[in-house]
């Protein structure tokens, strides 16, 4: 193990820390400006909290804004906020962290915010929570003693580095849109999520039609009417079949990168009247948490430098171009609405810049 590259060793440490986070075990994050011991609120139990020995809470800047708290400094993007003696029990912490409980617990605080003790470590903790599919909230204390599980901010960056992505397997896959399609699977050494590309048609010297499609279990598999993901997926495949060739990049970034459970929490908030953007912010997440550098690496591994991108989102064009992909054309994808997704699509148009 000592002969492994430093990035591999770091990525393994980060993977172990994320596993501890999911299981409700304490772990440590070391950053350039301080180290923090953390225990995820959502997976914690009171016995583990008693052993952890701190009632301080660390919540995301987005959730802090929802609770009308301010960070330690003015910032366009608020950073994580630490609440001194924020919650003495897991139930009390969940009442602060989970917006589904806001109606049952409307009165919160008063809270006293204090310095995080390590801003880089705090920001990395929020990334790890999102990657684990948990609420971005932790019991926190200054690092003390020996840590059973520890990683650094650099370790987490190594784990999530798209350049570590490799082609794992490929095979012929006849699909309804094309009986000659090929599927290509990608993975990085320490990651559990596999991304895939579906190649439609015969490759030639022209840029292919490319569609970036983020995983949507509810829309792609279950036929949800709350979004347009399923119809977009199938329309894109058939459009590729009509072109000389095309590539569907299927990214395992459910719920715009916040995970399935958190997406369902956002759905519940939408039922209370919040739109997609505000639901994500109330949960404590950014509006857009997907990593499009993954798509850039997939295209590089497929040796596809120039593409015709099928999207209604100009930001996807900009993000891919920042990854070195030459987007020679943006192809819109127009589909009919229904009474369940009209508000969702209006929010995409009015608040996230989609050209619909």
Q: For residues 183-208, give the mean pLDDT.
A: 93
Q: If pLDDT is split at 50, 70 and 90, which confidence band does 74 have?
A: very low
What is the total count of domains within the chain? 2
**Which residue's structure tokens are 């440490």?**
13
The model carries a pTM of 0.90
Write out the DSSP string of 177-217: TBTT-EEEEEE-TT----EEEEEEE---SSPPEEEEEE--I
Helix axes 260-271, 276-283, angle to 10 degrees: 120
Q: Is the pLDDT of residue 165 over 50?
A: yes
Indicate whether 262 belongs to any domain: no
Domain boundary among 126, 159, 192: 159
pLDDT at 333: 87
Q: Are 332 and 293 in contact (CB under 8 A)?
A: no
Strand partners of residue 187: 166
Question: What is the per-residue pLDDT for 353?
Answer: 65
Are residue 145 and residue 211 in the same domain, yes or no? no
pLDDT band (50, 70, 90) for residue 104: confident
Q: Whose structure tokens read 């619909």?
A: 356
Q: C-alpha 265: how far from its chain's center?
A: 14
Same-domain status, 130 and 35: yes
Q: Are residues 90 and 121 in the same domain?
A: yes
Domain of 49, CATH number, reads 3.90.870.10
At 343, the pLDDT band (50, 70, 90 cuts) reads: confident
- The answer on pLDDT for 102 being more than 90 is no
pLDDT in tens, 271-313: 998 988 889 999 999 988 899 999 999 999 999 999 999 999 8
**Pair 191, 64 in one domain:** no
**E strand map for 215-271:** 245-251
Q: Is residue 268 part of a domain?
A: no
Q: Tell whether 112 is covered by a domain.
A: yes
Same domain, yes or no: 87 and 72: yes
Provide the pLDDT confidence category of residue 76 given band limits of 50, 70 and 90: very low
Query: Residue 80's closest CA among 143, 150, 144, 137?
Result: 137
Tell me which residue range forms the domain holding 336: 162-253+290-351
> Is residue 282 one of the residues assigned to a domain?
no
Domain-located, residue 356: no
pLDDT > 60? residue 75: no
- Which of 108, 136, 159 is the last residue in one of the domains? 159
Helix, strand, coil shares of the chain, percent, nearest 5, are: 40, 20, 40
CATH number at residue 222: 3.40.50.10990
Residues 311 and 189 in one domain: yes
Q: Are residues 121 and 172 in the same domain?
A: no
Comparing 60-64, 190-194, 320-324, the range with the smallest average pLDDT is 190-194
Sheet with 137-142: strands ordered across = 113-114, 81-83, 57-59, 137-142, 34-40, 27-31, 150-152
The answer to whether residues 170 and 129 belong to one domain is no
Do residues 61 and 205 share a domain? no
Contact assessment for residue 207 and residue 215, using Cβ atoms and an 8 Å cutoff: no
Give the end of a domain, one of 159, 178, 194.
159
Q: Could you tell me the two tokens for 43?
A: 């997976």
Query: What CA–CA distance (Å, rounded) separates 353 from 46?
Result: 43
Over residues 242-271, mean pLDDT? 94
More confident residue, 346 or 55: 55
> What is the pLDDT, as a whole number, of residue 260?
95
């Amino acid at each position: 193990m000592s002969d492994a590259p430093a990035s591999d060793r770091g990525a393994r440490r980060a993977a172990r820390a994320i596993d501890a986070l999911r299981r409700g075990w304490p772990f440590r994050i070391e950053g350039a400006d301080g180290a923090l011991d953390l225990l995820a609120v959502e997976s914690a139990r009171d016995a583990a909290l008693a052993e952890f020995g701190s009632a301080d809470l660390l919540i995301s800047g987005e959730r802090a804004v929802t609770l009308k708290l301010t960070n330690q400094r003015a910032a366009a993007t608020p950073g994580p906020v630490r609440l001194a003696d924020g919650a003495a029990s897991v139930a009390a912490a969940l009442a602060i962290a989970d917006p589904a409980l806001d109606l049952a617990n409307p009165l919160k605080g008063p809270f006293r915010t204090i310095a995080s003790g390590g801003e880089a470590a705090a920001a990395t903790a929020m990334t790890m929570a999102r990657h684990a599919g948990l609420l971005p909230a932790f019991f926190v204390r200054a690092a003390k003693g020996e840590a059973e599980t520890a990683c650094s901010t650099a370790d987490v960056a190594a784990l999530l580095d798209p350049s570590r992505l490799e082609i794992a397997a490929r095979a012929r896959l006849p699909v309804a849109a094309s009986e000659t399609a090929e599927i290509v699977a990608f993975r990085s050494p320490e990651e559990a999520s596999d991304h895939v590309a579906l190649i439609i048609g015969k490759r030639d010297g022209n840029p292919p039609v490319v569609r970036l499609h983020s995983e949507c279990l509810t829309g792609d598999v279950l036929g949800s009417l709350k979004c347009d993901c399923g119809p977009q997926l199938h329309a894109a495949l058939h459009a590729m079949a009509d072109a000389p060739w095309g590539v569907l990049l299927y990214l395992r970034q459910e719920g715009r990168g916040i995970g399935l459970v958190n997406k369902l929490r956002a759905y519940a908030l939408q039922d209370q009247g919040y739109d997609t953007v505000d639901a994500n912010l109330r949960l404590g997440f950014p509006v857009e948490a997907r990593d499009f550098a993954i798509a850039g690496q997939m295209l590089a591994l497929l040796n596809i430098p120039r593409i015709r991108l099928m999207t209604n989102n100009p930001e996807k064009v900009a993000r891919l171009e920042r990854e070195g992909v030459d987007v020679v054309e943006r192809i819109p994808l127009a589909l009919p609405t229904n009474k369940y997704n009209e508000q969702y699509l209006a929010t995409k148009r009015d608040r996230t810049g989609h050209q619909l």
